[in-house]
Amino acid sequence: MGQGDASARSTAMEGDCLSCIKYLMFIFNFFIFLGGAFLLGVGIWVLVDPTGFREIVAANPLLFIGVYVILAMGSMLFLLGFLGCCGAIRENKCLLLFFFLLILIIFLAELAAAILAFIFREHLTRDYFTKELKAHYQGSNNTEVFTATWNTIMATFECCGVNSADDFDRQSLFRRLNPGRAVPEVCCLRNEQLMNVDECLRGNMPFRVKGCYSAVVDYFEAYIYMAGALAIVVLTIELFAMVFAMCLFRGIHRSDQTKCFVLRMCASVKYSSRGPALIPRMKTKHRIYYITLFSVVLLGLIATGMFQFWPHSIESSAEWTLDRRSVHDAPLVKLPTSSPIPERGDLSCRMHTCFDVYRCGYNPKNRIKVYIYPLQRFVDEVGVPISSSGLSREYNELLSAVSDSDFYTDDVTRACLFIPSIDVLNQNALRIRETAQALAMLPRWDKGMNHLLFNMLPGGPPDYNTALDVPRDRALLAGGGFSTWTYRQGYDVSIPVYSPLSAEVDLPERQPGPRRYFILSSQTAVHREYHTELERLKEENGESVLLLDKCSNLSQGVASARKRCSKAQTYDYPQILQESSFCVVLRGARLGQATLSDVLQAGCVPVIMADSYILPFSEVLDWKRASVVIPEEKLPEMYMILKSIPHRQVEEMQRQARWFWDAYFSSMKAIGLTTLQIINDRIYPYAARTYEQWNNPPVVKWSSVNSPLFLPLIPPRSPGFTAVVLTYDRVESLFRVITEISKVPSLAKLLVVWNNQNKSPPEESLWPKIAVPLKVVRTKENKLSNRFFPFDEIETEAVLAIDDDIIMLTSDELQFGYEVWREFPDRLVGYPGRLHLWDHEMGKWKYESEWTNEVSMVLTGAAFYHKYFNYLYTYKMPGDIKNWVDAHMNCEDIAMNFLVANITGKAPIKVTPRKKFKCPECTAIDGLSLDQTHMVERSECINKFASVFGTMPLKVVEHRADPVLYKDDFPEKLKSFPNIGSL
C-alpha cells in the first residue's frame, strides 16, 4: 500500500469524525433551543397573564426582576440553540463563529460570577433577607407571591423567619398587620398539624425555632459536592462546545486550512478508506495555539474546582481585631478648629431624662443592641492626633468582646446603644478639647444621647478629678474612679481599673483559710500620713503585718512591677498577696486603684479605705460579702476591726473575692460585658438578673437549676419525667422494671445506674426495646449515693428514683404518682411509707416499718422528686452524712427525706394504698434490706442525721393521695387510673 493510499485513508477518517461532531452539536443544541423556548414562553405568559399575575409580581421589585431574568435566560438559550443547530447542520461559518463567541462570553461570565459570589458571599446573606422579610412578609394566609414563597420555604425546611421567630418583632410588617400574633401559623406546624396553635401564635411555644437561613444553608451544604461536580460538568461541556465549534468552523470548505487537533486524535483510529478528505493536515503553529488554549482553560477549570472543594477557611472580615495595624488603615478625619464642642456632663442625668429607651424597643430576648462606630483617626488641622496612644490594646480588646457578643449589631438603625471607637480609657493620653470635638462629629451623637464612654483613669494633675474631664453632653460614662460627687446614680456605671499585671499572671486559686500574714499592704507611693499609720500598726502587731514598697535594689532586667520589697527582702508580686488574709487598698492620686484587681485575684480580702469611692459594679455586687470598707479616719483601729470578724466569715469573703475577679474583673471582656448587662437590666427590669445570679458563685453548673420552692403555682405543660433505676446484678428483675416503666405515658427518658464495677452490663441487643431513650451509666464505685448524682442525662425536672426489684408497681400507679408530683413539685411523692418514733425508754429515735396511721418518710426505692434535690444531696448535704451513707451502704433514702424536709419544712406525700414492696423472686442474698442488721442501722441513721442537722426536720402526716374514683362503684374503663393495684 502506497503513501497516497495512507493519505486518503487519513482524510476519510477525519471526514467521519467531523460529521460525527456536526450531528452531535445539532442534537445537543436542539435540546437547548427547546429549553430556551420553554423559558421564553413562561416569562411571556407571566407578563401577559390576564388574571393579574403581572401586577402581583410587580408589587415586589425583587420578584419582578426575577421574571426578566427568566426572560433573559430563555432568550439567550433560544439564541444559543439556534446558532448551534443551524451553524452545524448548515455548516455555516458565520453562525458557528457567533455560537463560539456567545458560549465564550457565558463561560467567562459564569467564572466571574462564581468568583465574585465566593468573595462577597457574606455581604448578601442574613441581614439582607431579614430586612426583606420584615418589610414585605404579611402572614400565613396571604396569597401575595413574596409571602407565599416564604410560607413555602418555612414549611419545606421546617423553619421560622430568617434567623428565628424573633424576626417577626413589633417593627415588622407582619406584626403591624397582625398585632395579636407573635409568629405566623406556619411556624406552629409540627407533622403538618397545628399543635396548641393559640399558645404558639402568642409566642409562648413556637415549635419551629430554627431560622430558615441556617436551615437552607445546612440543606445545601449537604449537597455542595454534588452541586460543585455539576458545575464542573457544565463548564466542561461549554469548554468542549467551544473547541468543537471552532474545529468545525475551520474544517468547512477550506482545503487550504488545517484540521483541528481533535480530528487529529480521531485519525489515529483504524478506518477503512472512504471518501475524499475534507480537511488537510493542521499547520504546526495552529495546532500549538489550540492545544495551548485548551490546556490553559482546562487547567483553570480544574484549579477552580480544587480550590472550591479543598479544605480551607477564609475568616470573615471582622470590624474589630487585636491586630493593631488595622488602626493605621482607618480613614483620616481632620477636625476644624471651629468644630463644635459638647457641653460638660450633666450631673442631673438619669435614665428617664437623658436616655431614649424607645430606641431599644421590645424584643423577645430582652437584650439591647449595641453599635460600634467604625475606626477613624482624628487629627487637628495641622495633623496632630487627638490621642498620643491611638487605640490602646485594652480598648481594642473591649471593642472586640462587644462585637463578638449577643449585644452587638452592625445595623445602626437597630441600635439602642452606641459606643465610639475613640479611646478615652486613659485621660493622660488625650487632648481634651479635640477629643470632645471628635465626639461631637459622630453621625448619631445627638448630644450624647444613648452613647456610652469607657474611662478608667480620669482626671489629671494636680486635681485628679474623679470623672472624665472631656465634655460629653448626656453620654453615659463607665468610669473607674467615681466619687459620690461625680457619680450619677442609676445612670453611670462604676467599673474597675483594669490591671494588666493580674491578667498576665496565672495565679492559681488558693483554698480559703488562715494565711501566713494577717494584714498586708503592697501599694507603692502611699501618702505619707497613711504610711506612718501602717508603720505604727506593724510595730504594735509584729510579724502578722507585712508592709511592702517599691524595690530600689533590683538587678538590671528584672521587672519592678512584679517585685515588692520589705527592707532588704524581695517578694514576688502579686504572688505574695496570697499569703495574707487581708490586703489594704488605699486611695492614691486617683480613687480607683488597679491594686483592687490584684488583691481579688489573690483571694485576699480587700480592706478598702477610700472615702466617697463608688466601688466597681456596686449597683449589682454586694461588696459586704467580699470586702471590708473602713473609713480613712478608722485606719488606726483597722487591726482590731478585722480581728473581730469570725474565721468562717473570712473564708467566705476570700472565696467571694476570688469569684468576683473571675466573673467581673479578669479581662476587658468581662468588664465590658458586665457593664452592658447592667445597662440592659435597667432597660428591661422585668428580665433583669437577680441578686443571687449576680452574687452567688456557681459551685457547679447544677447550681443554676431552679429551686422547686419558687416554681409556678399552676403546673406547666408536662415535659415528662426521667426514671433513674439503681441496679447491681439483678438483670432479670431490672428488665422487668424497665418494661413496666416504659408503659407510663409521661416517661421521657430512662437512666440505668450500673453500680457493679466487677461485671459489665448486658449487651445492647439483650436490653428491652422501649420507645424512649435508654442510657446506662457505669459508676466508678459501688455507692448508694450514686442514684442521687445530678447526671447530665437528666433533662426533665421530675425524677423517678426506683430500685431494680420494684416489679409490682403498675403503669397507672406510676402515672398517678407523677401527676401528684406535678401539683406538689417541692415534695417527695412516693409509695413505700415509713415513720420515725421517739423511744422514751431508750431516749432516742426509732425507725418504724410496720403499718401505722402515720407517715413521715417515703422511701426513694420508688419516689418522685425534683432534680434540684440531686444537686443539694451531692454538693450541699450537711456534715458527713453523704460519706456515712456510702460507708454503711444504708440509709440514702432516709438522708434524702431529711434533706427535703429540712429545705421545705413539709412532709412527704404517700400515693396509692400499696404497702407491700418485697420482691417475691428475690433471694435472701439479693437485697440490702433483707440483712438482719439493716433495720437496726436505720434507727441509728435517724439519730445520726438528727444530730448533724441539729433538729428533727421530718414531719408526720396522716393522709395519702388516691385517685378520685379509686373506691367508687364506677366502670373501670371510665376511670383515669383503673389499675391502681392492691396492698
CATH number at residue 871: 3.90.550.10
Q: Which amino acid, 472?
A: R
Does 535 lie in the same domain as 459?
no
Instruction: Specify if 231 maps to a domain.
Output: no
- Residue 751 banded pLDDT, cuts 50, 70, 90: very high
Does 73 lie in the same domain as 51?
yes
Helices (H), 784-843: 811-823
Dihedral of alpha carbons 863, 867, 872, 874, sign: positive
User: Taking 90 as the threshold, does the pLDDT of residue 513 lie above it?
Assistant: no
**What pLDDT is stored for residue 276 in this prediction?**
42
pLDDT tens-digit readout, 72-105 = 776 777 777 777 777 777 777 777 777 777 777 7
Cβ pair 393, 426 in contact under 8 A:
no
Angle between helices 145-156 and 61-89 (to 10 degrees): 80
User: Taking 50 as the threshold, does the pLDDT of residue 940 lie above it?
Assistant: yes
Instruction: Specify if 676 maps to a domain.
Output: no
Does 153 lie in the same domain as 40?
no
**What pLDDT is stored for residue 630 in this prediction?**
96
Concatenating the DSSP letter of every residue in 760-794 gives PPPPGGGS---SS-EEEEE-SS--GGGGGS--TT-
- State how far the Cα of 262 lies from the Cα of 818, in Å rounded to an integer: 80
For the ranges 205-209, 305-309, 655-659, the one whose mean pLDDT is highest? 655-659
For residue 932, give the 3-state DSSP assignment.
Answer: coil
- Measured in whole angstroms, how far is the alpha carbon of residue 342 from the centre of its chain? 39
* Widest distance between CA atoms in the chain: 134
Averaged pLDDT, 642-661: 93
Does 821 lie in the same domain as 753?
yes
Instruction: Specify if 687 maps to a domain.
Output: no
Does 329 lie in the same domain as 460?
yes
- Residue 115 banded pLDDT, cuts 50, 70, 90: confident
pLDDT tens-digit readout, 754-772 = 999 999 999 988 999 998 9
Q: Which of 494, 517, 532 is the last residue of a domain?
A: 494
191: left (phi over 0), alpha (psi -120 to 50) or beta: left
Range from 81-95, 266-280, 799-813 carrying the lowest mean pLDDT: 266-280
Query: Is the pLDDT higher at 880 or at 978?
Result: 880
Instruction: Specify if 976 maps to a domain.
Output: no
**What pLDDT is stored for residue 425 in this prediction?**
94
pLDDT tens-digit readout, 357-388 = 988 987 778 899 999 999 998 998 888 899 87
Cβ pair 894, 861 in contact under 8 A:
no
Range from 171-180, 327-336, 573-582, 585-594 carrying the lowest mean pLDDT: 171-180
Give long-range contacts, CB 8 A cutoff, 24+ apart: 523-526.
523/584, 523/585, 523/586, 523/588, 523/593, 523/595, 524/549, 524/550, 524/564, 525/550, 525/588, 526/586, 526/588
Element of type H or E holding 454: strand 452-455
**What pLDDT is stored for residue 484 in this prediction?**
93
Residue span of the structural domain in which 221 resides: 131-225
- Measured in whole angstroms, how far is the alpha carbon of residue 563 from the centre of its chain? 40
Q: Using alpha carbons, list the distances in angstroms from residue 244 to 107, 191, 635, 841, 922.
A: 15, 53, 97, 112, 86
**What pLDDT is stored for residue 701 in this prediction?**
40
Instruction: Specify if 716 maps to a domain.
Output: no
Does 804 lie in the same domain as 942?
yes
Instruction: Specify if 878 maps to a domain.
Output: yes
Cell of 863: 419516689
Does 415 lie in the same domain as 330?
yes
**What pLDDT is stored for residue 514 in this prediction?**
86
Count of domains in the chain?
A: 5
Cell of 195: 399543635
CATH number at residue 625: 3.40.50.2000
- Residue 704 banded pLDDT, cuts 50, 70, 90: very low
Does 514 lie in the same domain as 485?
no
- Going across the sheet that includes 628-629, the strands are 545-547, 517-521, 580-586, 605-609, 628-629
**CA nearest to 471, candidates 423, 438, 425, 442:** 438
Does 514 lie in the same domain as 452?
no
Cell of 286: 495552529
**Cα angle: 376, vertex 382, 387; to 5 degrees:** 45
**What pLDDT is stored for residue 934 in this prediction?**
65
Instruction: Specify if 463 maps to a domain.
Output: yes
User: Taking 50 as the threshold, does the pLDDT of residue 925 lie above it?
Assistant: no
DSSP 663: I
Cβ pair 708, 778 in contact under 8 A:
no
Instruction: Specify if 960 maps to a domain.
Output: no
Q: Which of 225, 250, 270 is the last residue of a domain?
A: 225
Cell of 942: 435517724
Q: Please, which residues bridge with residue 839 across strands?
A: 844
Rg (CA), the chain: 40
CATH number at residue 218: 1.10.1450
On average, the pLDDT of the chain sits at: 79
Does 579 lie in the same domain as 542?
yes
**SS3 sequence of 30-72:** HHHHHHHHHHHHHHHHHHHCCCCHHHHHHCCHHHHHHHHHHHH
Does 602 lie in the same domain as 511?
yes
Q: Which amino acid, 151?
A: N
Does 524 lie in the same domain as 457?
no
Q: Which of 200, 225, 250 is the last residue of a domain?
A: 225
**SS3 sequence of 562-596:** HEEEECCEEEECCHHHHHEEEEEEECCCCCCCCHH
- State how far the Cα of 347 lies from the Cα of 835, in Å rounded to an integer: 66
**What pLDDT is stored for residue 641 in this prediction?**
95
For residue 911, give the 3-state DSSP assignment.
Answer: strand
